Amino acid sequence: MTFDDLTPEAPAPGSDPRQTGEMGFLDHLEELRRVIQQALAACLIGALAGWWLAPRVLEDLIHRTVGSVIVLSPIEAFSERLKLALVIGLMIALPFVFHRIWAFIVPGLLKKERGFVLPLAAVSMLLFATGVAASYFYLTPLVVHALSQFLTPSMNAQIQVGALLGFFYNLALACGLVMQLPLLTMALTAIGIVTPGFLLRHWRYALIGVFVVTAAITPGDIVTAQIVMAGPMIVLYFASVGLAWLVVRRRRTQDEADGLTPASRDPMNGGEHA
């Protein structure tokens, strides 16, 4: 099975008005409207499932982190459950939403473009979900536990449910974005902006950049979260170097099969891209 097998079945060349250019602008808008409606319907159905899952997820998160929380207004428990249900619903509906968007844009792409756009998008979604899961099961409980060590015997921690969920949302988003680093590095290597040697030579600057990025994406000015996130980011950076090397190696193999030299691939020398 190849990645092309995962794409929606495209009409025969010349039969799809989106490929032949016969579909008008208003027809494109009408089709886009249907895609948006279907995506919103999927998110609504996901939110209904999320409404049922939200109390269970919230209870589990509370037990993993602070043990108990407080609410400061009669509506807070309802509003926070609703927000969590929407977030869970979006995560549930995301694969279907992605499929509908992909089905909308695929007729306008070349076969070669479909071959790398779909894998990149699918891997990006998987990496983001991995980052969210890492935040839920590992990072958020670890950071909350580390911060609780600064309490003195006279301090009584009373964590508000909204503050706990907001803290988790921020860390989950940060982890999801951090997990895109290998994919970003591979993409930059594939288009020739960076090389594995360049990444290795500038590893010291990368370490500084890691701490700058963690300071920017972690909630508040929590040094503990920055330090905890910096470790995985450094590992991801050097893993990205290895992936970049694989990209270069594959490109060289393809060039040799096509009979191209590095100079012939360089558009500045009058050559053409592989």
SS (H, E, C) the chain: CCHHHHCCCCCCCCCCHHHHCCCCHHHHHHHHHHHHHHHHHHHHHHHHHHHHHHHHHHHHHHHHCCCCCECCCCCHHHHHHHHHHHHHHHHHHHHHHHHHHHHHHHHHCCHHHHHHHHHHHHHHHHHHHHHHHHHHHHHHHHHHHHHHCCCCCCCCCCCEHHHHHHHHHHHHHHHHHHCCHHHHHHHHHHCCCCCHHHHHHCHHHHHHHHHHHHHHHCCCCCHHHHHHHHHHHHHHHHHHHHHHHHHHHHHHHHHHHHCCCHHHHCHHHCCCCC
Q: Count the neighbouring beta carbons within 10 Å of the beta carbon of residue 268.
A: 6
Of 260, 231, 232, the C-alpha closest to 272 is 260
Residue 117 tokens read as 């756009």
Q: How far apart are CA 129 and CA 16, in angstroms?
A: 34
Q: Is the pLDDT assigned to residue 274 strictly greater than 50? A: no
DSSP bridge partners of 160: 70
DSSP bridge partners of 70: 160
Q: How far apart are CA 160 and CA 176, in angstroms?
A: 24
Q: Is the pLDDT assigned to residue 255 strictly greater than 90? A: no
CB 185 within 8 A of CB 199: yes
Q: Count the neighbouring beta carbons within 10 Å of the beta carbon of residue 183.
A: 19
The model's pTM is 0.72
The whole-number average pLDDT for the span 64-75 is: 91
Query: What does pLDDT average to over the chain?
Result: 78
Is residue 271 very low, low, confident or very high in pLDDT (cuts 50, 70, 90)? very low
Top-confidence residue, 240 or 110: 240
Q: Is the pLDDT assigned to residue 18 strictly greater than 70? A: no
Q: Is the pLDDT assigned to residue 269 strictly greater than 50? A: no
Q: What is the pLDDT of residue 114?
A: 66
Q: How far apart are CA 185 and CA 237, in angstroms?
A: 9
Q: How far apart are CA 141 and CA 139, in angstroms?
A: 6
The whole-number average pLDDT for the span 118-125 is: 80
